[in-house]
Amino acid sequence: MYNLVLVAILAAASQGLMACDNKDGISGSDLPKMRTGFTISNTAAIDQAIERAKERYEIAVKLKITPTIRNSVPTELFILSGFTAEDQSNLDMAGCYIRLASTLRSLDLIPKNRSLAATALITSGIFYATESLNFYRVKDDSIEDANYHVDLQISAAQSYYWASCNADNFQKKEALKGVALQYYQRATADTQLINDDAQKKYWLLKIQQEQAKLV
């Protein structure tokens, strides 16, 4: 990524010189020498710039990660999971945490990897729940898009269920299942706002199948 940015910058600079290389400007071969007072290799300067950019990028990414995970997981895993230094939506963040959890589950070399995966999935559930609250805009006694809202509630419930599967003790597993059940119950209630009977039936069956996993 940084190499591509650097290439783009160098290309732009090159085009700028070419634009001046005409009878009304200064040709590239006649440009004044740079007199900085010290000598530094161009390669070394580029390498230093890249390392500084990478460091800033990694810091920006890590600042977005929940503290419980931030210092226990290599930054590369955050980047591979889709986290970026830029602002990301609640749904983007939820997806990133799910990918991170999926990777952590298989990395036994990382201490408490399953517990960290559970934390990532809990965080994913929080983002889905937050998005559902943001979307819950009542208008004329109905929700603008009940299908979407039910989908978000189910996604939150699934995240908490997956977290329970990776939790490191029985009490935490049961507590997370309880939270998942609450979101399934909310999703069930919200299906009543769906006018399409076929769509309502689809969601109710989906909730029933998912909720059965909590037993």
CA–CA gap between residue 185 and residue 174 (Å, rounded):
16
The predicted structure's pLDDT at residue 144: 57
Residue pointed to by tokens 């997981």:
73
Q: Which of 189, 188, 190, 159 is nearest to 176 (CA)?
A: 159
The predicted structure's pLDDT at residue 14: 45
The predicted structure's pLDDT at residue 134: 81
Indicate if the pLDDT at residue 97 is higher than 50: yes
The predicted structure's pLDDT at residue 133: 85
Phi-psi region of 86 (alpha: psi -120 to 50; beta: other; left: phi over 0): beta
Q: Which of 161, 163, 180 is nearest to 118 (CA)?
A: 163
Q: What b/e sequence results for 64-99 when a residue is b if at least 16 CB atoms lie within 10 Å of its CB, and e otherwise? A: bbeeebeebbebebbbebebeeeebebeebbbbbbb
* 138 vs 98, residue with greater confidence: 98
pLDDT in tens, 185-206: 999 999 998 888 999 999 999 9
The pTM (predicted TM-score) of the whole model is: 0.75
The predicted model gives 93-102 an average pLDDT of 94
CA–CA gap between residue 16 and residue 185 (Å, rounded):
63
Residue 15 token pair: 């085009």
72 phi/psi in degrees, rounded to 5: -110, -5
Contact 160, 214 (CB under 8 A): no
Identify any residues that bridge with 143 across adjacent strands, giving them in sequence order: 138
Single-letter residue type at 205: L
